[in-house]
Amino acid sequence: MKPISDFMAQLGRDFSNQPLVVEIILKGQWKTLMGEQISGNARLLSFGDGVLQVEVSDERWLQELSRLSEEIRGRINKFFGKDVVRAVRFVQKS
């Protein structure tokens, strides 16, 4: 039996032209994709037009994750097996 993450990745590939489906999948897989530390300090807000918007807990995380934006984009696109995310934007929690 395949892991649920494999099913979710395939679903994302099949519906990559549907931003809401991609967003729901990413929200469900966020902790798995980002790991405990990042997911504890960054929350996916939205996805649309290839842009992932992520809320971070403070200025330090804003700077750190901004430096890692290409790695984060790469992890997500690797998960889906195609270029779904073209940019990641970070906003600090207000």
pLDDT digits (tens, 9 = 90+) for 68-80: 999 999 999 998 8
Distance CA 67, CA 56 (A): 13
- Going by pLDDT thresholds of 50, 70 and 90, the confidence category of residue 14 is confident
Element (H, E) at 88: strand 87-92
- Give how far the C-alpha of residue 48 lies from the chain's centroid of Cα atoms, to the nearest Å: 12
Q: What single DSSP character describes residue 25?
A: H
Q: Is the pTM above the cut of 0.75?
A: yes
Give residue 5's pLDDT. 74
